[in-house]
Amino acid sequence: MKICRVRLKRPEKNWIRCEVIFEIESRMKRLEELEKSTLRKDLWDQPDKARDLLKEKTRVETTIERFKKLDGATRDLEDLFEIAREEADEKTLAELDGDADRLLEGVRDEEMRALLGKAEDGKNAIMTIHAGAGGTEAQDWAEMLLRMYLRWGEKKGFKARILDYQSGEEAGVKSVTIHIEGEYAFGYSKAETGIHRLVRISPFDASSRRHTSFASVFVYPEVDDEIVVDIDEKDLKIDTYRAGGKGGQHVNKTDSAVRITHIPSGIVVQCQNERSQHKNKAMALKVLRSRLFELKKKEHEEKMDALHSSKKDIAWGSQIRSYVLHPYKLIKDHRTNLEVGNVQKVLDGEIDDFIEAYLLRESVVAHS
């Protein structure tokens, strides 16, 4: 087991230490085994197993490369630090502080990746946000959450796009569906599933009274072609309509938007982002498959819970986080008790502290 380590010291600062365990030796050994397996002549006799093998090989190679990059950067940083300290080069030492911060961010990302071990964690995500009761106030809150997640996705290097946007009557959004594409997009964003509560002085209240608003967030893993979710065409009710909202002029002139109702489950999905009805239908079906997959998984988990005396906390539909803007400023996650006072920073997309705390908590629960 090899450790990547950052350790800097300046006279006026404390030690900065961060360790991330890559288990690099076991991964190198596993890579050798996978490389031998991929050279077998009968590899493609079983195509599904061959694809799984190649995917695992790519994952292991990527992990090893990330380790080498961090390990090399750490060694370079330590060498530069020693030289700058010996020469009392304050300018270089100040620059190295910034380099150390960026390196620590990379180490932190690896720590978070290590907590994402489920098969669906590595998939793209489909996120839906729904305004709760409360009219314009709740709809404005839903749009604030949309902005927060779009900014978070941008900071993480994810590609996020709006699939469906249902505008509020006066302001905000009634509901919105986002497709988040990137490595471990679902693994990270699943931490946001639940009810989000906002307390503030309402900008829509002439009397400037304090209001409490709610919005729900649900996140599903995007189901790819390798996961089979059977959908009978007879169970579908497909409607087309003229798209509205933030779709540009084209979508307002044609019946390109598609709404699909899955009759047995009652699930309704819709897409109006694409320019053609065909593309909107294809994306709506992809969203439906993801939601049905998540529904089946949830039903299985509930059955397993019933067999055990200790039930896990119900994540779906529970209040997970409060955002208080008045009479004080504080955001608190009720699952982990993590509190952050810099409200604006969080609303600008800096939510990794909450995600990391949630993933750590889930890891502890899973191993207890």
Q: State pTM to two decimals.
A: 0.70
197 and 248 belong to one structural domain: no
260 and 207 belong to one structural domain: no
Question: Which phi-psi region, left, alpha or beta, contains residue 133 (left: φ > 0; alpha: ψ -120 to 50)?
Answer: beta
Is residue 197 one of the residues assigned to a domain? yes
Token readout for 198 is 């906002």
What is the domain count for the chain? 3
CATH of the domain at 269: 3.30.160.20
170 and 39 belong to one structural domain: no
Q: Residue with structure tokens 């077998």?
A: 40
CATH of the domain at 9: 1.20.58.410
Q: Residue 290 belongs to what domain range?
A: 233-303
Q: pLDDT tens, position by position, for the chain (368 residues)?
A: 344 544 444 433 333 334 445 678 888 999 999 999 999 999 899 888 888 889 889 888 988 888 888 888 888 888 888 898 888 888 888 888 888 888 887 877 777 887 887 878 988 999 999 999 878 999 999 999 999 999 999 999 999 999 999 999 889 999 999 999 998 999 999 999 999 999 999 998 888 889 999 999 999 988 765 556 778 889 999 999 887 655 444 445 567 899 999 999 999 999 988 878 988 998 998 899 888 888 877 775 665 455 333 333 333 346 899 999 999 999 999 999 999 999 999 999 999 999 999 998 988 777 66
Q: Are 64 and 86 in contact (CB under 8 A)?
A: no
60 and 96 belong to one structural domain: yes
Angle of the 352-366 helix axis to the 90-114 helix axis, nearest 10: 40
Complete DSSP assignment for 191-242? GG-EEEEEEEE-TT-TT--EEEEEEEEEEEEPP-TTS-----GGGEEEEEE-
15 and 109 belong to one structural domain: yes
Q: Are 142 and 105 in contact (CB under 8 A)?
A: no
286 and 330 belong to one structural domain: no
Q: Which of 114, 148, 181 is the last residue of a domain?
A: 114
